[in-house]
Amino acid sequence: MYDKYSMVADDFINDEEIKATLKYAEENKHNEKLIREIIEEAKLLKGLDHRKASVLLHCDIPELNAEIFALAGKIKKDFYGDRIVMFAPLYLSNYCVNGCVYCPYHAKNKHIARKKLSQEEIVREVTALQDMGHKRLAIETGEDPLNCPIEYVLESIRTIYSIKHKNGAIRRVNVNIAATTVENYRKLKEAGIGTYILFQETYHKESYLKLHPTGPKHDYNYHTEAMDRAMEGGIDDVGCGVLFGLELYRYEFAGLLMHAEHLEAVHGVGPHTISVPRVKHADDIDPDSFDNGIDDETFLKIIACIRVAVPYTGMIISTRENKSVREKALRYGISQISGGSKTSVGGYVEPEDEDENSAQFDVSDNRPLDEVVKWLMELGYVPSFCTACYREGRTGDRFMALCKSGQIQNCCLPNALMTLKEYLMDYASPETREIGDKLISQQLMEIPNEKTRSIAARHLAEIEGGERDFRF
């Protein structure tokens, strides 16, 4: 039976409840009165439950769909202003004992190049990432207790945080590794990770079991209950996501929101971020072999409806998506994007040729970080390399309380401008720097609090003079 307070996956992601939700949403997809009521409720910025949000996702009335997109855009603007947080993935190892049918790292793939970075190689990769200007990484590994034990991940995190090259530093390491034990989550917390990210892939249990035929990941409940163990281990920022294309997107959407509701109900804080990857081409993976692929328009509608349903949750899009889709997705809800990414192991130092491909997926947006930063600024956004909250201990419910009170706004913009200034000084091309300096002067005036504005202006001048790492 559906119970968001239960600790059992089948109860908080309840198949019957999802099917009843989809039926209800289908029956009401032309119900103008109800849809209008839900839109009005969403305007209160308290979020929507999975049933109401599903009605919006199903909505088949063009004028109301336009209103949903407009509201998503407004919520995005009200909460996140023009800021877009930047990050890069860092693949440490692609050894994997699992059999996920949509990922080229699956154990049966014998021709993909298997690699695992040594600590010396990590130093070189991270130095290259610092030289691009990145401050926030998401580390990625396959699941392999022998080749990639938790001790290796912990040692790698220590290495990453220790590298100080020129003015560079990685200030936040988010971790995307397989579901693990409370004890291991505790160790990750102690190692100072930012967000623990784990994609559910699909919330549809029957499909999940077929898509994960072998390996520890086959255990649906262990995987689905991972965020609870992470929170029990002290990690209070967790990042959820599904791989769109594996199952029916409406089912996944309801499941994703039910997961968020469960985390909020049990731990008092929902997911810190939600990612929206779609199945893409990779080594031996053909996205067309999955029946549930979604077109760009549907993809954007999903993003808009997630934005409206969980206004305080950051939303992430990767370089799986091309420039044009990323541009539209930013408008309706995405608050964090990767740039200059390599999805192969060791790819930042040594680009791979076709014969030696270790990438998890083909990158659709191949532009270097400088170009992505310039593009964002030309679109009117402020690329932010901020990592302040995690370093100030503003995580979990503390972070959410600040978000909900609106107080966070006094930190985000000045932090974005100061970290962008660091980027412009240390890494940007002259053209990007010129655009950026103008943007910073304009945006400085948008900081509402006069005292904060004058402190930020002083720090910006100090950064110009060579000092680094200020934060609110």
Residue type, 398: R
Question: Given candidates 93, 98, 341, 432, which one binds ligand SF4 under the rule CB under 6 A?
Answer: 98
Q: Strand pairing of 273-275 and 314-317?
A: parallel
Range in contact with ligand SF4 (rule: CB under 6 A) among 147-155, 283-291, 404-412, 448-456: 404-412
Q: CA 290, 294, 296, 300: dihedral to nearest 10 degrees?
A: -130
Angstrom CA distances, 205 to 1, 9, 110, 255, 278, stand at 15, 10, 28, 11, 19
Distance separating alpha carbons of residues 340 and 344, to the nearest angstrom: 12
Q: Which two three-digit tokens encode residue 202?
A: 């699909």
Q: Is residue 395 at the binding interface for ligand SF4, with CB under 6 A as the rule?
A: no
**Pick 59 or 246: Cβ nearer ligand SF4:** 246
**Pick 393 or 465: Cβ nearer ligand SF4:** 393
> Among residues 205, 201, 158, which one has the least CA distance to residue 178?
201
Q: Which two three-digit tokens encode residue 317?
A: 């899009």
Which residues, 31 to 90, sit near ligand SF4 by CB under 6 A?
A: 85
Q: CA 56, 249, 72, 418: dihedral to nearest 10 degrees?
A: 160
Question: Given candidates 17, 82, 125, 143, which one binds ligand SF4 under the rule CB under 6 A?
Answer: 143
Question: Given candidates 22, 279, 382, 389, which one binds ligand SF4 under the rule CB under 6 A?
Answer: 389
Question: Given candidates 18, 242, 304, 388, which one binds ligand SF4 under the rule CB under 6 A?
Answer: 388
Q: Is residue 386 at the binding interface for ligand SF4, with CB under 6 A as the rule?
A: yes
Question: Given candidates 47, 89, 133, 142, which one binds ligand SF4 under the rule CB under 6 A?
Answer: 142
Distance separating alpha carbons of residues 118 and 33, to the nearest angstrom: 60
According to DSSP, the residues that pair with 278 across neighbouring strands are 244
| Shortest CB 1 distance to ligand SF4, Å | 31
**Pick 51 or 172: Cβ nearer ligand SF4:** 172
Question: Given candidates 256, 408, 439, 447, which one binds ligand SF4 under the rule CB under 6 A?
Answer: 408
* Number of chain positions touching ligand SF4 (CB under 6 A): 20
Distance separating alpha carbons of residues 28 and 55, to the nearest angstrom: 7
H helix intervals, 114-198: 119-132, 150-162, 182-190
Q: Is residue 223 at the binding interface for ligand SF4, with CB under 6 A as the rule?
A: no
The length of the chain in residues reads 472
Range in contact with ligand SF4 (rule: CB under 6 A) among 31-39, 61-69, 180-188, 384-392: 384-392
**Pick 257 or 386: Cβ nearer ligand SF4:** 386
Contacts with ligand SF4, residue ranges (CB under 6 A): 85, 96, 98, 100, 103, 105-106, 142-143, 178, 217, 384, 386-389, 408, 411-412, 415
